Amino acid sequence: MRYNILIILSLLFFNKVEAQNNMGEKDGSFRLEVTIPNQANKTLYLGQYWMGGTYAIDSVKVGEDSKAIFAYPDRKIDQGQYFLHIKPSFLIDFLIGDTQDDIRMSINEKDPSKNTVSGSEDTKLLWQHLAYIAEEDMRKSVLQGRFLSASEQEKPKLQDELDNFDDKLALHTQSFIEKHRTQWAGIFLKGMEYITLPYPQPKDNKEFLANKEYGKVHYFDNINLTDPRFWRTNYFTSYIDSYMQQWTDPVPDSLAAAANRLVAKTINNDICFKEMLSKLTNDALSSGRMGDENIWARLYENYIMNKSIAWIDSAQMSQLKQKYSDIEYNRIGMKARNLIMETPDGKSVATNGIATEYTLLYFYNPDCGYCQLETPKFHDEVYKKYKEKGLEVIAINTGNNKQEWLDFMKKNKLTDWINCADLNYKSQYWLYYDTSGIPATFILDKDKTIIAKRINEKNVIKFLDHHIQSKNGTN
């Protein structure tokens, strides 16, 4: 089976070129002076995080006086999380807020707690917080060493001290966030905080499920999804991935609904809306997981189809429209469209009219070289093995040469499953099933709901084994 997956890469909006050339507000200016001893004549990179990646947006050579200056007199740069980097391994993060016209940093590579900054209150606050955490971690490490060498009489007291460390750090962080809740530094750190679940240590499946339901609704409580600064951090996109992969039921329609909710929450900010829609659409388009097409199809229906979107050009829109038309009526969870086809002896057969536990629609063409190889294998390895387990295969010839079809069936001994065709193309099967690449398979349950699609014989076997075992309670 061969078919192309369309990836609308241009939806990613912010690539490296744009990061360098379209990154700031027109009003105001940006200036950053960095003093970093022992790095004279080295190249210092100014970089930013975006969509889970890192981008070098500028570079300067450190002078003999250990200073380097980045300056844009006619514009600010976008607020967010940035970093300074010198190859091979020096890297330090900092924050850019609204005030950015005279930032001065002095970097101590050996002792980051001695780093200083002026002109960026957000960076100053962040560095102070990180220095406190680092100091407390060192104290904890010393205490752990004492615990390992302590006597049995001393250990209980030391264990109590160790147990209190994490609580102490958590309280300090919460106090910091509350005190600076309106500043970017406080907002940034709050975004890194995990939500508090109803049952921090669930005792049973009921509490575990309660936590999951709570997480579905409240996972982003600490992040304002209409704040574009979060897209310029090193953690936000991983949170989106975690939400989709771990907090959403791995069912196509549930994943589609979750993605739709995320995009809906960004609707009041153009940048956030654009990035959320782009990311989730691209992730689903590029995914090889069966059923993820439900995600991008739902987003296409609700936010793209029949709409004028400046950042999707006509060629891209046309490609998406064609891609969508291939799967409009045959996504996982949909009721399969009934087709009236013709058997070799001229009788009519309705694809949804076969009463069986599983129906497998197998579209192929006897004139297709790949189909000639795969169809006999599919018959022997799938149909023969599972026909006694409730599987019926409807083999649908997509060609129009009847004699070629009859000869192919006879040669390969394919007369024991249901053979049919639409030699005059009356059923318009191509509108309701994605046959852009053949052979194409669609597995229906007893209610004729599509439960799997476009998988080869090996994966059909795996799917049926799993599905049958789960149904019988043997999994």
What is the structure's pLDDT at 26?
63
275-326 residue pLDDT tens: 999 999 999 999 989 999 999 999 999 999 999 999 999 999 999 999 999 9
Q: Does domain 9-118 have CATH number 3.30.420.40?
A: no
Q: Which amino acid is at 111?
A: D
What is the structure's pLDDT at 24?
62
What is the structure's pLDDT at 3?
27
Of 245, 312, 321, the closest CA to residue 284 belongs to 245
325-371 residue pLDDT tens: 999 999 999 999 999 999 999 999 999 999 999 999 999 999 999 99
For the chain, the structural domain boundaries read 9-118, 127-149+162-192, 224-327, 340-472
109-141 residue pLDDT tens: 999 999 999 999 999 999 999 999 999 999 999
What is the structure's pLDDT at 474?
64
What is the structure's pLDDT at 179?
98
Residue 444 half-sphere exposure toward CB, CA atoms < 13 A: 24
pLDDT band at 23; cut points 50, 70, 90: low
Res 273 pLDDT > 80: yes
- The arithmetic mean of pLDDT across residues 45-74, rounded, is 96
Separation CA 229–CA 401 (nearest Å)? 61
Terminal CA-CA length for the chain: 29
- The arithmetic mean of pLDDT across residues 229-235, rounded, is 97
What is the structure's pLDDT at 371?
97
pLDDT band at 27; cut points 50, 70, 90: confident
What is the structure's pLDDT at 15?
37
- The arithmetic mean of pLDDT across residues 394-414, rounded, is 97
What is the structure's pLDDT at 6?
33
Non-local (6+) Cβ contacts of 421 within 8 A are 341, 342, 344, 396, 397, 398, 399, 402, 405
Separation CA 94–CA 121 (nearest Å)? 10
Name the average pLDDT for the chain: 93
452 phi and psi angles, rounded to 5 deg:
-160, 155
Instruction: Give the strand pairing for 116-118 and 43-50.
Output: unpaired
Separation CA 264–CA 87 (nearest Å)? 41
Please list the residues that pair with 395 across neighbouring strands. 362, 419
What is the structure's pLDDT at 7?
33
In the CATH hierarchy, which top-level class contains the domain 340-472?
A: alpha beta
What is the structure's pLDDT at 470?
84
